[in-house]
Amino acid sequence: MKQMMNRLMLVIFSAGLLLAAATAGFAGHHGTHKEKKTGILLVAFGSSEASAQVSFENIDRKVKAAWPDVAVCWAYTSRIIRHKLAKQGKQLDSPAMALARMADEQFTHVAVQSLHTIAGAEYHDLTRVVGAFKSMGDFESIVLGYPLLATQADMEKTVDALLDMIPADREKQDAVVFMGHGTHHPGNAFYAALMFQAQQRDPLVFIGGVEGYPEIDDIQSWLAEKKIKTAWLLPFMSVAGDHAKNDMAGDEADSWKSILSESGIQCRTVMKGTAEYDSFVAIWLSHLENALNHFH
Ligand code: CO
- Could you tell me the distance, in angstroms and rounded to a whole number, from the CA of residue 243 to the centre of ligand 1? 7
Q: Is the pLDDT assigned to residue 49 strictly greater than 90?
A: no
Sketch the domain layout of the chain as residue ranges: 38-148+278-295, 152-272
Specify the CATH number for 152-272; select among 3.90.550.10, 3.40.640.10, 3.30.70.360, 3.40.50.1400: 3.40.50.1400
**Gap from CA of 209 to ligand 1 centroid (Å):** 10
Please give the distance, rounded to the nearest whole angstrom, from the Cα atom of residue 80 to the centre of ligand 1: 11
Provide the CATH topology of domain 38-148+278-295: Rossmann fold (3.40.50)
Cα separation of 122 and 117, whole Å?
A: 10
Same fold, 38-148+278-295 and 152-272: yes
- How far is the centre of ligand 1, averaged over its atoms, from the C-alpha of 88 (Å)? 20
Residues 6+ apart with CB under 8 A from 137: none
Concerning whether 124 is annotated as a catalytic residue, the answer is no
Residues 6+ apart with CB under 8 A from 212: 180, 181, 182, 183, 184, 188, 191
Contact between 177 and 214 under an 8 Å Cβ cutoff? The reply is no
- Residue 208 contacts residue 152 (beta carbons within 8 Å): no
Q: What is the pTM of this model?
A: 0.87
pLDDT in tens, 111-161: 999 999 999 999 999 999 999 999 999 999 999 999 999 999 999 999 999
> In percent, how much of the chain has pLDDT > 90?
86
Q: How far is CA 99 from the centre of its chain?
A: 15
Please, are residues 242 and 168 in contact by the beta-carbon 8 Å criterion?
no
How many angstroms is it from 206 CA to the middle of ligand 1? 19
CA distances from 48 to 178, 190, 240, 281 (A): 22, 26, 11, 20
Q: What is the pLDDT of residues 209-230, one digit of tens each?
A: 999 999 999 999 999 999 999 9
- Kindly report, residue by residue over 186-211, the tens digit of the pLDDT: 999 999 999 999 999 999 999 999 99
- Residue in 29, 30, 83, 181 annotated catalytic: 181
Q: How far is the CA of 159 from the centre of ligand 1 (A)?
A: 23
Residue 166 CB coordination number (10 Å): 17
What is the pLDDT, as a whole number, of residue 3? 58
